[in-house]
Amino acid sequence: MSKKSSAIADVRSAAGTPKNGPAAHPVNASLSADQKIGLYRLMVRIRRFEERSLRAYQAKKIGGFLHLYIGQEAVAVGCCSLMGKDDHVITAYRDHGHAIGVGMELNPLMAELYGKVTGCSKGKGGSMHFFDPARNYWGGHGIVGGQVPLGTGIAYGLKYKGLKGACMTFMGDGAVNQGAVHEAYNLAALWDLPVIFVIENNGYSMGTSQARSSAGDLARRAEGYGMAWGVCEGHDVYEVRACMARFLEEARTNSKPAVVEIRTYRYRGHSVADPDNTYRAKSEIEEYRRTKDPIQVFQAQLLAEKVLDLALVEKIDVEARAEADLSADFAEASPFPTAADLQKDVYWEADNPSERKSGGRLFFN
C-alpha cells in the first residue's frame, strides 16, 4: 500500500464526505434496502466469477493473460452504480469488475475468456478486451494508458451532442506515467470535458510499487491543469459512491473534468502468471484482506444496518457460485470461432458487402 501524505488526507475531507461518514451521504442514505443488497450482490458475483475463471485458467480452458480484480470490487461497483443513462465507462485490461458492474451477463464474459464465439467479443478480444457499448461500456484496453484519450473523446462526444452525461475513465496507478494520459488531462481541462479520470490505485503496477514509479501524489497532478481532484478509500463502497457522486454531478451539469484517486488493493498477482514473490510480503495481503476486504466490510455494514442477515448472505453467495459455474458450463458448451471468422469484423465494408462503395482488395491472403 502506498504511504499516506497529510496533504491528501486534507483534500479528502475537502472532497465533501460528511463528518458522520459516507453511509449518511445522501447518495447512500437514499438507497433502498433492495438497492443496497443489489450492490452487495454485485460485488459477490464479481468475486465468484473471477474465482471460477481462475480455476478455468488453471485447467487450461483460458489462454493469454488473466488479470483478476479480486480485492478491488467496491471501486467498479461503487462507480458504476452511479451511472445514469448518458454516463459511460472505459477502463484498462483489468476489466471484469467493470463489465459486471455495468450489468453485463456472466455467460458472454466467461465465454469470451474461453475464446468462444458466444463471448462478448466473439472470442476475438479475450480477458483484456470486454466490450458492451449498448451498456455504455467501451472496454477493456490492453495498452497501458491507451484508453485514457478514448474516454476523453467519449466525454467530448457527449458535450458535442449536448448530452448531460460523464465518462468515467479508469486507469491504474502505473498508467498515470504514460504521456497520453497527460495530453488527455490537458485537453479535458482546456475544453471543459465531462470526464472523470479515475485512478484505481492498488499500490502496484506489476511488481513496481507506487513509490518506485511515480513522483509526487497521483491525483494532485490535476492541479497542474487546473482540474479538480479528490482521493478516497476504495474498500468502502459507500465512500466510493459519496466521493464520485460530487464529481459526476459537476461533470454532468457543468461539464467539468476531475481526477479521482481511489485507494484499493489487489489480492492476486498482476496477472495469473505473476508469481507475486518479489515486491510485497504475503502479510501485507493478509492484513488488507483481514481489515479492508470490500465484501466483508460492506457485509458487516449491511448486517449492522439490518439490511442483510446471515441467511441472505449465504443465499447470495450460493447463488453467485452457481451462476459462475453455469457460466463456465455455458462457455464450455459453446463453439470456438473458426478460421473463416478471422477476417470478419475487421472492416465495416467487408461485413456489409452490399453497401460497399470502395473498390480494390481489402485483404492480402
How many other C-beta atoms can be found within 10 angstroms of the C-beta atom of residue 167? 28
DSSP per-residue letters across 142-186: -STTTHHHHHHHHHHHHHHTT----EEEEEETTGGGSHHHHHHHH
Residues 324-363 that bind ligand TPP (CB under 6 A): none
**Do 68 and 266 contact (CB within 8 A), yes or no?**
yes
CB atoms within 10 A of CB 191: 13
218 binds another protein (CB under 8 A): no
Alpha-carbon distance 259 to 272, whole Å? Answer: 29
Q: Hunting for cell 504511504 — which residue is that?
A: 3
Residue 266 CB burial class (10 angstroms; 0-12, 13-18, ≥19): buried
Contact segment (CB under 8 A) with another protein among 170-178, 185-193, 232-240, 281-289 equals: 170-178
Bridge-based pairing of strands 204-205 and 167-172 is unpaired
> Minimum CB separation from ligand TPP for residue 323, in Å?
25
Query: For 18-41, b where at least 16 C-beta lie within 10 A, e where not — what string?
Result: eeeebbebebbeebeeeebbebbb
Give the whole-angstrom CA distance, residue 244 versus residue 237: 11
Backbone torsions φ then ψ of 59, nearest 5 degrees: -85, 10
Judged by CB under 6 A, the stretch of 167-175, 230-238, 241-249, 350-358 that binds ligand TPP is 167-175
Q: What angle do CA 12, 38, 303 make, to 5 degrees?
A: 75
Q: How far is the CB of 204 from another protein (least distance, A)?
A: 10
Residue closer to Mg ion, measured from CB, 186 or 213: 213
342: number of Cβ within 10 Å? 11
Instruction: Between 22 and 172, name the residue whose CB sits nearer to Mg ion.
Output: 172
| All three cell numbers of 211 | 513509490
Considering only residues 142 to 181 of the shown chain, the ones binding Mg ion according to CB under 5 A are: 172-173
Q: What are residue 232's phi and psi, to 5 degrees? A: -145, 170
Restricting to residues 265-294, name those near ligand TPP by CB under 6 A. 270
Q: Nine-digit cell at 342?
A: 478471422
Q: Which of 18, 224, 343, 349 binds another protein (CB under 8 A)?
A: 343
Q: Binding mask 120-139 vs ligand TPP (x if CB under 6 A, - otherwise)?
A: --------------------
- Residue 47 CB, nearest approach to Mg ion (Å): 19
Helices 294-304 + 237-254 axis angle, to 10: 100
Which residues of 53-135 form beta strands (DSSP E)?
Answer: 88-90
Candidates 1, 207, 319, 326; binder of another protein (CB under 8 A) is 207
List binders of ligand TPP among 143-162 (CB under 6 A). Answer: 143-144
Q: Does 68 bind ligand TPP (CB under 6 A)?
A: no
Give the side-chain half-sphere CA count within 13 A for 149: 8
Residue showing cell 488453471? 58
Candidates 2, 147, 205, 264: give the one binding ligand TPP (CB under 6 A). 205
Cβ-based nearer residue to another protein, 59 or 339: 339
Binding range to another protein, per CB under 8 A, among 99-107, 192-200, 204-212, 242-250? 204-212
Query: Per CB under 8 A, which of residues 81..120 are in contact with another protein?
Result: 115-116
- Which residue of 78, 97, 108, 125 would you call a contact of another protein, by CB under 8 A? 125
Of 17-25, 68-76, 190-198, 207-215, the segment contacting another protein by CB under 8 A is 207-215
The yes or no reply on residue 128 touching another protein (CB under 8 A) is: yes
Q: Does 64 bind another protein (CB under 8 A)?
A: yes
Question: Is residue 234 within the footprint of Mg ion (CB under 5 A)?
Answer: no
Q: Which residues bind Mg ion (CB under 5 A)?
A: 172-173, 202, 205
Q: Which residues bind ligand TPP (CB under 6 A)?
A: 94, 142-144, 172-175, 202, 204-206, 270
Q: Which residues bind another protein (CB under 8 A)?
A: 63-65, 115-116, 121, 123-126, 128-129, 141-146, 174-175, 177-180, 205-208, 212-214, 278-279, 336-339, 341-343, 346, 363-365
